[in-house]
């Protein structure tokens, strides 16, 4: 007897409806699927930032002259550096750095005014808190620019330079880290929630023994897998819309190429949902599924995807390992579409890698899904 493809479609539809009914009746699943992504993107979006504004600094003025006071005012005139203390000596400035009250201290030496009037170069010492490398580099860059401008002012240099470099920053003119982080947050949140949703819900059915009812029906393994994934895929699309809306409303994320964004998100969601289903099939236990789902989705999506750290700066073994992390390709595609307006020609390799991962996860889930209880 030949199999009827329409019967297969009806069986998949029936399983999907059953799964959707479970989702609708379980408030925890709805919170995890809808409330948690928006909450996480708001928390991460406001809490994680690489931008430094009003860096707290101190100035030790050992010269106490009109010129030294002008230099001190020029150092904090741009408001990138905020003067919070004026200690009398270097030792007090070091104590402030040790206590974490300031990030840097400038030491204006004795005889500054006199040496400048003689045309000499005066070394101005700068003490920096190096415990945070990212903050240190930004403080040094800001101080270097301010120092150069102050030096030219004191030297009364008015000659027009032979070259004038005009910087045109594309895609993120203001340099806001939120625009860089939000696409990565979308991938991180979707990866974690999608894996946990399928891993927990299907593992719960194994624990309750309701899988036996499915095994007593004529449905195939692939039909069960597809029927389980379809409701969560639709729920994942709702997550994508909510997260993008939150990113655009709160952080000013530009929304470009929405159809391509949804298509790319669908491939990513299929892979992550398949990964969660594979975990549930292997573990058949909610506690173990939670641990494996969190470990396999949260850490790689944050550390090996280029979300926070550039992949190019990683050691070679980690760069190789990052190739199997779908969030790496999803983040690259999402940043390209939303920030740069890239099309499918520009992100075809990212889509190819996401497709491979989705096929691998669904195929492995189907292969491990045995029609027996134990």
At 266 the pLDDT is 93
Q: What is the pTM of this model?
A: 0.80
Token pair in block for residue 286: 């909610």
Query: What's the half-sphere exposure (Cβ side, CA atoms, 13 Å) at 257?
Result: 20
Round the CA-based radius of gyration of the chain to a whole number and report it: 28
pLDDT tens track for 280-338: 888 888 888 888 888 888 889 888 998 888 888 889 999 999 999 999 999 999 999 99
Question: How far apart, in Å, are the Cα atoms of 180 and each of 9, 73, 172, 304?
Answer: 42, 33, 8, 16
Instruction: Return the minimum-mean-pLDDT range out of 98-102, 106-110, 112-116, 160-164.
Output: 160-164
Extended strands (E) in the chain: 55-61, 81-85, 104-108, 125-128
Contact 84, 102 (CB under 8 A): yes
Instruction: Return the minimum-mean-pLDDT range out of 45-49, 107-111, 127-131, 169-173.
Output: 45-49
At 2 the pLDDT is 47
Distance CA 218, CA 199 (A): 24
At 3 the pLDDT is 53
DSSP-based three-state secondary structure for 126: strand
At 1 the pLDDT is 39
Q: What is the mean pLDDT of residues 204-208?
A: 75
**Residue corresponding to tokens 């190019």:** 312
The whole-angstrom distance between residue 179's C-alpha and the CA centroid of its chain comes to 10
Instruction: Give the domains, in start order, of the chain with CATH numbers.
Output: 5-48+175-368 (no CATH), 55-154 (3.40.1710.10)
Give 111-114's long-range contacts (Cβ < 8 A, gap of 24+).
Answer: 111/63, 112/62, 112/63, 112/65, 112/67, 112/68, 112/71, 113/63, 113/65, 113/66, 113/67, 113/68
């Amino acid at each position: 007897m030949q199999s009827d493809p329409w019967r297969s479609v009806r069986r998949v539809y029936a399983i999907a409806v059953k799964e959707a009914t479970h989702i609708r009746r379980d408030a925890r699943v709805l919170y995890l699927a809808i409330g948690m992504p928006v909450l996480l993107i708001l928390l991460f979006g406001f809490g994680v930032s690489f931008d430094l504004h009003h860096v707290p600094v101190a100035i030790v003025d050992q010269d106490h002259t009109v010129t030294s006071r002008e230099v001190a005012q020029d150092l904090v005139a741009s408001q990138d550096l905020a003067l919070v203390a004026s200690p009398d000596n270097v030792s007090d400035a070091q104590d402030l750095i040790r206590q974490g009250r300031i990030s840097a201290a400038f030491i204006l030496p004795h005889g500054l005014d006199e040496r400048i009037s003689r045309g000499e170069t005066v070394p101005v010492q700068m003490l920096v808190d190096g415990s945070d490398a990212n903050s240190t580099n930004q403080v040094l860059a800001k101080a270097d620019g301010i120092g150069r401008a102050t030096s030219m002012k004191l030297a009364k240099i008015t000659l027009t330079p032979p070259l004038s470099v005009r910087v045109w920053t594309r895609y993120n003119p203001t340099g806001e880290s939120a625009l860089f982080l939000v696409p990565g947050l979308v991938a991180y949140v979707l990866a974690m929630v999608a894996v946990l949703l399928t891993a927990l819900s299907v593992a719960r059915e194994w624990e309750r023994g309701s899988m036996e009812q499915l095994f007593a029906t004529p449905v195939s393994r692939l039909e069960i897998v597809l029927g389980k994934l379809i409701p969560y895929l639709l729920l994942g699309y709702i997550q994508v819309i909510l997260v993008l809306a939150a990113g655009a409303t709160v952080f000013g994320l530009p929304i470009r190429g929405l159809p391509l964004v949804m298509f790319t998100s669908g491939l990513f969601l299929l892979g992550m949902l398949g990964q969660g289903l594979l975990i549930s099939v292997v573990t058949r236990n909610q506690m173990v599924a939670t641990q494996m789902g969190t470990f396999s989705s949260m850490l790689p999506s944050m550390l090996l995807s280029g979300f926070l750290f550039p992949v190019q700066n990683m050691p070679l073994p980690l760069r190789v390992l990052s190739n199997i992390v779908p969030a790496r390709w999803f983040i690259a595609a999402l940043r390209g579409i939303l920030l740069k307006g890239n099309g499918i020609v520009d992100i075809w390799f990212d889509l190819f890698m996401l497709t491979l991962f989705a096929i691998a996860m669904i195929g492995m889930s189907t292969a491990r899904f045995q029609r027996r209880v134990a």
